[in-house]
Structure 1
Amino acid sequence: MGDKHRVRFEPVGIEIEVDEDQTILRAAFEQGVQLMHGCKEGQCAACKSFVLEGDLDEIELDRYSTFALPDMEREEGQTLLCRAHAYDDLTIELLNYDEEILRSGLPVRKGTVEVLANDEVTHDMRHLVVKQVAGEDIKFFPGQYMDFTVPHTGAVRSFSMANTPNREGVFEFVIKIYPDGAFSQYLAKEVEVGDRIEVEAPFGTCTLRENRTSDIVFIGGGAGMAPLLGLLRALAEKGTERKARLYYGARTKADLCFEEELRAFEGKIPGFRYVPALSEYDGDDWDGATGLITEVVREHEPELEGMDAYVCGPPPMVDAAIALLSQRGMNTHNIFYDKFTTTGEPEDEGP
């Protein structure tokens, strides 16, 4: 371990202690301060912040993409908290934060889970269920995600919980299988009931804002089903009065899953509607919506002012949905999202 320094976050006035061997984001996680973040690998810029006080030369950055932090922005004092190591006391201005989430964070914990089930739900998605059997109890909020360490490789992959918190330490996931995916191929070819995997959680800020009473639009695609399912299950369990609807995009009818449960929410969540849409409709046995899910939302939602949205899925879908929601009157501060990226090396890296 290295020397420790104080890092203060403004405008919220929260201070943490950061070891030189840790990134600032990692230190915040361990102390239950839930800073905004995304990839945790210096590629997405979700944790970009500004150094208000402190010597920029006393901040060392791990490898990062200059698309996330261009050289000019770094010279002006901006930094990526997921890559930044502090070698002196600092004051950081948070450029992207949610004070409710920031102050209600749960400290990350490491543990071991045992596989209870690994079932196909579509031709390329698995429903993985695990139970924690070792380590400090991992707690989470619906919509958050867990890091899995791929056995024998040391690679880490992140997946959102699809269930709500429980005392049994059980976690559910909906995971897409990619042909070259380090974890998904392990899941598809090797994982059996009883296997044990090292994990760490919770991460992520795409969680329900408990102080909000607005109606909600959920938009998802692919494995974005997982966090949306967790959020919807949480609303149903709470007996919410907030109205909600879910728009979910898939390529074909064979790519839809959890249909029965999603339709059952119509009797548990006020005004709930489940609207699936097929982007590659071939004319067979389907009388629902067709086309890109954002176009379906455009058709069904002419006015969204005063509402909240949760958007989870592939980055192009998420970006298109955010633009549409803003056009329809939704405040961007009330759009919460999780981009499901595939892991890869940054195309252009900083020193």
Structure 2
Amino acid sequence: MGEKHVVRFEPVGIEIEVDENQTILRAAAEQGVQLMHGCKEGQCAACKSFVLEGDMDNIDLERYSTFALPDYEKEEGQTLLCRAHPYEDLVIELLNYDEEIIRSGLPLRKGVVEVVSNEAVTHDMRHLVVKLVEPEEIKFFPGQYLDFMVPGTEESRSFSMANTPSRDGRYEFVIKIYPDGLFSQFLDERVKVGDRLDVEGPFGTFTLRESRTSDLIFVGGGAGMAPVLGLLRSMAERGVERKATFYYGARAARDLCFEKELERLAEKMPGFRYIPALSEPAEDDVWDGHTGLITEIVRANESSLEGMDAYVCGPPPMVDAAIATLTALGVREEHIFYDKFTTTGEPEGEDGP
């Protein structure tokens, strides 16, 4: 344990203590303060904030991407809370925050899960189902994620839950298999029913803002299916009547999944539409749906999205393109909630893996 320092977050007026051996984001999560974040690895910039009071030389940053925090922004006083270790008291201005989410944080818990099933849902994505062995419960909100520890290493990988909270202690994930992916290759080649894995969570702020009643638009690609499916399942279970449209981008028909369930949700939820699109249909695909990048399909189908809330999840190029499209169509930036699925595997395009 290192020396502890007080970090105050403005404009919400919340203070926490941070050990020098912790990142600010980690300390906040342990104390039930749910700051905006995504990858926790210094790649997505969701936790970028401004240092109002404190010496930048007294903030140690773990390795991060200069795409997330360019040098000129660092020189101006911006930092990444998921990488930042404080060595003095600080006052931080949150640039991306939601007070409703900040104050509704759930405590982090470590646990052990047992594999129930590990089945392919596309040629390169797995539907992993696990059940909690210990502790008795890890609470979460639909749209959040768990960290899986990679056996034999000190590494972890993050995966969003596709299910809704329930008493049976089961969790579902949709996981892309990458060539040489540290966890995904382990999942592809070694994970069997009955295996036990260490997890920790919940993390993430890709959750439904319950205080709002606006119509919803979801944009997803690849494994971004998982958290959106969790949100839609939750809305259906609870009878949420907000109108919603889910645009999902894939490359070819073999990359589509959960089609039948989404069709059933459309029957159960009168205000819900599911609109898939293929960016590169295969020659033998029997496809009469939309063709093109998912952002192009959104632009072609929607004349105005003013007043709506948007949820975007998938690879960074798709998320960035979707945010630009949505704002151009009238969605206010503060009402766009996103989760960038950063990866150490192969590069992903706008249409997802």
| TM-score range relative to shorter protein | over 0.9
The residue number in structure 2 matching 1:187 is 187
Q: Which AA in structure 1 matches 2:275? A: V
The residue number in structure 1 matching 2:296 is 295
- Bigger Cα displacement from structure 2, 293-302 vs 230-239: 293-302
- Give the Cα separation in 2 of the matches to 1:76 and 1:166: 45
The residue number in structure 1 matching 2:68 is 68
Q: Which AA in structure 1 matches 2:225? A: M
Q: Which AA in structure 1 matches 2:112? A: T
- Give the Cα separation in 1 of the matches to 2:199 and 2:285: 42
The residue number in structure 2 matching 1:314 is 315
SS at match of 1:174: strand
C-alpha contact 1:240 1:270 (8 A) present in aligned 2: no
The residue number in structure 1 matching 2:209 is 209
- Give the Cα separation in 2 of the matches to 1:292 and 1:28: 38
Q: Deviations over 1:36-76 (max 9, x none)?
A: 11221222222121222223333222222333333333333
* TM-score (structure 1 length as normaliser): 0.94
SS at match of 1:114: strand
C-alpha contact 1:32 1:105 (8 A) present in aligned 2: yes
- Give the Cα separation in 1 of the matches to 2:136 and 2:75: 41
Q: How far off its partner does 1:136 sit?
A: 6.3
Q: Which AA in structure 2 matches 1:323? A: A
- Give the Cα separation in 2 of the matches to 1:92 and 1:284: 52
Shift in CA distance, 137/284, structure 1 to aligned 2, threshold 3 Å: closer
Q: How far off its partner does 1:205 sit?
A: 0.9
The residue number in structure 2 matching 1:82 is 82
- Give the Cα separation in 2 of the matches to 1:57 and 1:319: 31
Q: How far off its partner does 1:146 sit?
A: 0.9
Q: Which AA in structure 2 matches 1:162? A: A
- Give the Cα separation in 1 of the matches to 2:327 and 2:295: 12
The residue number in structure 1 matching 2:351 is none
The residue number in structure 2 matching 1:348 is none
C-alpha contact 1:242 1:270 (8 A) present in aligned 2: no
The residue number in structure 2 matching 1:270 is 270
- Give the Cα separation in 2 of the matches to 1:342 and 1:83: 17
Q: How far off its partner does 1:23 sit?
A: 0.8
The residue number in structure 2 matching 1:243 is 243
Shift in CA distance, 72/256, structure 1 to aligned 2, threshold 3 Å: closer
SS at match of 2:121: strand
Q: Deviations over 1:170-222 (max 9, x none)?
A: 11000111111111111111000010111111111111000110111111111
C-alpha contact 1:69 1:79 (8 A) present in aligned 2: yes
- Bigger Cα displacement from structure 2, 226-235 vs 60-69: 60-69
SS at match of 1:126: strand
1:95 and 2:91 correspond: no
Shift in CA distance, 247/71, structure 1 to aligned 2, threshold 3 Å: closer
C-alpha contact 1:276 1:288 (8 A) present in aligned 2: yes
- Give the Cα separation in 2 of the matches to 1:320 and 1:18: 36
- Give the Cα separation in 2 of the matches to 1:32 and 1:289: 43
SS at match of 2:213: coil
- Give the Cα separation in 2 of the matches to 1:43 and 1:288: 34
SS at match of 1:306: coil
SS at match of 2:41: coil
C-alpha contact 1:59 1:84 (8 A) present in aligned 2: yes
C-alpha contact 1:157 1:183 (8 A) present in aligned 2: yes
Give the count of matched residue pairs. 345
- Give the Cα separation in 1 of the matches to 2:310 and 2:72: 33
1:330 and 2:331 correspond: yes
> Equivalent residues in 2 for 1:110-259 (5 A)?
110-135=110-135, 137-259=137-259
C-alpha contact 2:43 2:342 (8 A) present in aligned 1: no
SS at match of 2:106: coil
Q: Which AA in structure 2 matches 1:263? A: E
- Give the Cα separation in 2 of the matches to 1:270 and 1:319: 30
The residue number in structure 2 matching 1:41 is 41
SS at match of 1:294: helix
* TM-score (structure 2 length as normaliser): 0.94
- Bigger Cα displacement from structure 2, 54-63 vs 293-302: 54-63
C-alpha contact 1:110 1:136 (8 A) present in aligned 2: no
The residue number in structure 1 matching 2:349 is none
Q: Which AA in structure 2 matches 1:308? A: D
SS at match of 1:122: coil
- Give the Cα separation in 1 of the matches to 2:67 and 2:274: 37
SS at match of 1:101: helix
Shift in CA distance, 87/296, structure 1 to aligned 2, threshold 3 Å: same
C-alpha contact 2:241 2:271 (8 A) present in aligned 1: no
Q: Which AA in structure 1 matches 2:17? A: E
Identity of aligned residues (%): 75
